[in-house]
A = this chain, B = another copy of it.
Amino acid sequence: MKFFIDKEKLSYAIQNVQRAITTRSPLPILTGILFSCSGGRLNLSATDMEMSINCSVPADVIVPGALVIPARYIAEFSKKLPDVPIEFETIGGGNLATIRYGQSEFNINGYNAGDFPSFQVPEGEFSFALKAEEFKNTVRKVTYALSTDEARPVFTGVLLEIEGDQATMVATDTFRLAMKKFKVPASTPEIINVNVPGKTLNETVRVMGSSDTVRVTLSKNHIMFETQDTVITSRLISGRFPSYRQVIPQSFTCTLSASIREMLDSADRASLLAGEKSSLIVFQTRSEGVVISVRSENGWIREDIEACTEGENFDILFNVRYLSDALKACDGEDITMKLTGTYTPALLTSPGDDDYLSIIVPARTSKE
């Protein structure tokens, strides 16, 4: 293997693929990045066996070949390189990479490329392209509600449901739920219902860079996202995603509308006194507005928020983080909250974004 490459391109490709690597991998070779070059391109691949990221950049290839290079060294090293042409060379069939830059050189022991696991590229069964901005926005609006609890993997994924040209993404950790609908420029004869790892979606957003579009390809057990130069392939999460439709409340006894910014700032201040574990605040709807309050052994806070309220008044206990996350995910200036009672889920929407909703389940105090 021998090629020349720009520092910027090398560093870009390494940063794109690197996030697929788990440092606590049981297989040492999986802590490495597969470098392979041929036909004027350098291809980098990394995988944790659940997700793989592949990035292709132009290079001046002299001798095609492949080698796995430890990510820990090459990632840091590529950022520190000078702005001169960088030469990679592997002598014979050996696993030592020599990297030359100016008069200096770095030699690093790698792994045989033949031992790097090949990850299954799913045969596309259904495929469509989305505008990059729309994809990013949709992912941002739902992934905050994901669970990080690896013991319940089904909640660490985002449900992607497609019926005709209507798609829906849903995430929930059972304490809150976020749902965003969007159109796909293709139509599927049967209903698609898959659970995509949240990590895969977040990494796809991260590597999208200046790509205008992202192509999504679904197969039975995999999903693939393709941008300009990067391909992310991931297993889908197995196990049934809960039927979210019945969780969405349909009738309400109180509706209020307030400024997102104002409520977010009030919640933020109130969180200072809220306990560290449960972070509960009292949310009170009143005819003249909303009051958020917290009382602790160190003091108390009372935040008066201007709001238009209609219907009955309630006192509700919320986890302040759940309220803040939901408010942050909303576009526009105002939030509409619909409530039914002290112990029933609250529905949050924002005027002008009919395709989005989120739900927060109120907390119960230990006394109840």
Instruction: Tell me, in angstroms, the Cα distance from A8 to B301 when the chains sit together.
Output: 21
Whether a CB of chain B sits under 8 angstroms from the CB of A102 is yes
Measured as residues with beta carbon below 8 angstroms from the partner, the interface class of chain A is 20 to 34
With a CB–CB cut-off of 8 A, which chain B residues contact A365? Answer: none
User: A240-272: which residues lie under 8 A (CB-CB) from chain B?
Assistant: 265-266, 268-269, 272
Q: Which of A102, A105, A106, A265 has the most CB of B within 10 A?
A: A106
With a CB–CB cut-off of 8 A, which chain B residues contact A73? Answer: 272-273, 298-299
With a CB–CB cut-off of 8 A, which chain B residues contact A105? Answer: 301-302
Whether a CB of chain B sits under 8 angstroms from the CB of A303 is yes
Whether a CB of chain B sits under 8 angstroms from the CB of A121 is no
Whether a CB of chain B sits under 8 angstroms from the CB of A65 is no
With a CB–CB cut-off of 8 A, which chain B residues contact A81? Answer: 269
With a CB–CB cut-off of 8 A, which chain B residues contact A353? Answer: none
Question: Shortest beta-carbon distance, A268 to chain B, in Å?
Answer: 5
Instruction: Tell me, in angstroms, the Cα distance from A121 to B48 when the chains sit together.
Output: 61
Question: Shortest beta-carbon distance, A66 to chain B, in Å?
Answer: 18
Q: Which of A76, A77, A272 has the most CB of B within 10 A?
A: A272
Contacts A76-B272, A96-B299 hold; do A266 and B70 have CB atoms under 8 A apart?
no
Question: Shortest beta-carbon distance, A108 to chain B, in Å?
Answer: 4
Whether a CB of chain B sits under 8 angstroms from the CB of A82 is yes
